[in-house]
Structure 1
Amino acid sequence: MTQTPPEVLDCGRTVDELSDYLTAGRIPADAHIESCPDCLNALDALERVGRLSRDLMVDDAERLPPPPQDWLNGILSAVRSELRAGRSFPIHHDDPRVSISVTEGAVRALIRETGDAVPGVYIGRTQIIGNAEIPGEPVEVDVTASIAWGLPVPETTARVRDLVFTALNQHTELKVVGVNITVEDLHGYASDKESS
């Protein structure tokens, strides 16, 4: 079976096409992109990476040495690898004739959006470990993150962990028994708003 390269989404659009579309301000509007869940997830991921890049450039470059050259490439690689829909996780419905599921890609997007909402945090890779296709089976979630220099790591990761756990309980039927956060990078400096 031939696999699609990671730069090409399941719908056939490429990450480069979506990046160009985003750079053009999403004008003219592309009906397929604006209605395709895979494309919308990819656009969201590209926008987050763009915000991170801008935040790092705005940060006073003299305070810290620049991050390693492959740091941003690592984040982009993680985003590219997670743009696929992946597995389907069932959602219970009272009518046995109705089958509802949520894709792994959508759950990863939820995790990323939840973690990125914490000031000074950028989520890298997410992984759902366990047999989530079977209702009630326990799963763990592994998340990597970059945190702004100066933020207290234990408190920040605890906050991300709690928010991710709550979001998954509210929006999925996954039986999450653990959310594991690994801080892989520190970036910039925490602003006063982030550190308070």
Structure 2
Amino acid sequence: MSDDRVPDKLDCGRSVEELSAYLEAGRQPYDRDIETCPDCLNAIESLQRVGQLSRDLVAEDAALLPAPPQSWFEGIFSAIHSELRAGRSIPITHPDPRVSITLAEGAVRSLLRSVGDSLDGVFIGRTEIVGDAEIPGAPVQVVLTATIGWGQSIPDVSETLRVKVFEALERHTELNVTAVDVIVEDIHGYTPKDER
């Protein structure tokens, strides 16, 4: 189960605030330690997504609806913030028994977010891998919370997201995913990409 507490530091020792300041400075001066650290890069990618999300929501919701409740946006940011830790190590098989390869749970969560980003008007909130992901072949369930754009079909978007998550996990991991549950938590102001 995921930990609801927001970490002060990533597993590599850097704080989210430190990475946010580095990002705001345009990633200058170049910091090789940050730019070669998977935890830092995952966190920077999440911070960039949140920044883009906030800009998009302000522009779209200002024109269509009253400003979204602060708790909704804070909920997404808090979920991303709490998931920045590397988490469990998910094994990947290799033909050489002397070789051990693992995939960080945080990388899988980043993959799940990228699937949501590929769908117009969809924003992923919480992601959770339920089950013994560290045991090869053990059944796991993926639970996602999402917000979708006003006017979109909740059943259609949920099913599309569910199918794309299954496909991405099958392509990029060896997890034995028995179910993908999508929970739509909110609806936000939305302008389709082709109308922007």
1:85 counterpart letter in structure 2: A
- In 2, are the aligned partners of 1:146 and 1:183 still within 8 Å (CA)? yes
- The equivalent of 1:137 in structure 2 is 138
- The equivalent of 1:21 in structure 2 is 22
CA deviations on 1:50-69 (whole Å, 9 max, x unpaired) are 11111111115252121112
- In 1, are the aligned partners of 2:6 and 2:81 still within 8 Å (CA)? no
- The equivalent of 2:117 in structure 1 is 116
- Whole-angstrom distance in 2 between the partners of 1:109 and 1:38: 11
1:167 counterpart letter in structure 2: A
| DSSP-derived class of the 1:59 partner | helix
- Whole-angstrom distance in 1 between the partners of 2:10 and 2:184: 28
- Whole-angstrom distance in 1 between the partners of 2:100 and 2:165: 26
Q: Does 1:90 align with 2:91?
A: yes
- In 1, are the aligned partners of 2:6 and 2:78 still within 8 Å (CA)? no
- In 1, are the aligned partners of 2:61 and 2:67 still within 8 Å (CA)? no
Q: 1:192 to 1:75 in 2, by over 3 A?
A: closer
Moved more, 29-38 or 185-194: 185-194
- Whole-angstrom distance in 2 between the partners of 1:187 and 1:138: 34
- Whole-angstrom distance in 2 between the partners of 1:44 and 1:5: 17
- In 1, are the aligned partners of 2:88 and 2:134 still within 8 Å (CA)? yes
- Whole-angstrom distance in 1 between the partners of 2:59 and 2:12: 35
CA deviations on 1:133-179 (whole Å, 9 max, x unpaired) are 11111110000111111111111111111111100001100000111
- The equivalent of 1:177 in structure 2 is 178
- The equivalent of 2:56 in structure 1 is 55
TM-score, normalization by structure 2: 0.92
1:32 counterpart letter in structure 2: D
Q: 1:193, CA displacement in angstroms?
A: 3.1
- In 2, are the aligned partners of 1:141 and 1:178 still within 8 Å (CA)? yes
- In 2, are the aligned partners of 1:38 and 1:84 still within 8 Å (CA)? yes
Q: 1:190, CA displacement in angstroms?
A: 3.4
- Whole-angstrom distance in 2 between the partners of 1:103 and 1:83: 11
- Whole-angstrom distance in 2 between the partners of 1:57 and 1:172: 35
- The equivalent of 1:189 in structure 2 is 190
- In 2, are the aligned partners of 1:151 and 1:190 still within 8 Å (CA)? no
Q: How many residues align?
A: 191
Q: 1:86, CA displacement in angstroms?
A: 0.7
By relative contact order (CA 8 Å, sep 6+), the higher-ranking structure is 2
Moved more, 185-194 or 169-178: 185-194
2:57 counterpart letter in structure 1: L
The list of structure 1 runs, each at least 4 consecutive aligned residues, that deviate by more than 6 angstroms after superposition, is none
| DSSP-derived class of the 2:149 partner | strand
| DSSP-derived class of the 1:141 partner | strand
- Whole-angstrom distance in 1 between the partners of 2:184 and 2:191: 15
TM-score, normalization by structure 1: 0.92
- Whole-angstrom distance in 2 between the partners of 1:68 and 1:176: 34
